Amino acid sequence: MKTHNELMDYWRSPPDENTPNRYVDNSRNQKRSQFLYDVFQEIGVSPKHTILEMGCNMGRNLNVLWHEGYQKLYGIEINPDAYFLMKKKYPDVAAKIRIDSIESAIKTFRTVHVIFSMAVLMHLHPDSNWVFEEMVKRAKRWIITIEDENHQGHILTNRNYREIFTGLGMKCVMSYYAVPGANTSYICRVFEARKK
């Protein structure tokens, strides 16, 4: 696997196969965004809730949510090119985006109702596992992960998010083992904050 710094540099300016343009008008990716919205509906995430996307890339997920009435949207994105592409592609989406690494940005966020990630946490270096505890501290209601839990590689770390987040005190209320538009290694998990 790449070192922590190499991984950060990789995602700040990814090679052609992972540039933000790859995610524009891709029907497979659009299916994943629609699936995310369907999950929101199933668990009761409403437009009044505040939502943070970890690694929002060029904003496809935020665009779908915005047009479904969700307007309290926030995002973290390490790649400035992705942010500028979002502004060009989805100019009406008024999400508040922080251009920074997840590791640098997460501690600056107040609590939100929902934190979600789609194919992003799997790219965090193992040295950054502390981020999961920070997510739990900031999620008032739910954490949703749509991640590849089975592959390991130079830019991938396989993790069992059920073990991670239940180990940090959250309750896993749903797991989907078939995510439209994703390969069979992707699992969607919904975690709920335990009532205090």
pLDDT in tens, 70-118: 999 999 999 999 999 999 999 999 999 999 999 999 999 999 999 999 9
Q: In the predicted model, is pLDDT for residue 36 greater than 70?
A: yes
Q: Is the confidence at residue 16, as pLDDT, over 70?
A: yes
C-beta separation of 120 from 55 below 8 A: yes
Q: Which domains does the chain have, with CATH numbers?
A: 4-193 (3.40.50.150)
Statement: residue 50 has pLDDT above 90: yes
pTM for the complete prediction?
A: 0.95
C-beta of residue 60 within 8 angstroms of C-beta of residue 33: yes
Half-sphere exposure in the Cβ direction for 170 (13 Å, CA): 30
Residues 103-114 have pLDDT tens digits of 999 999 999 999
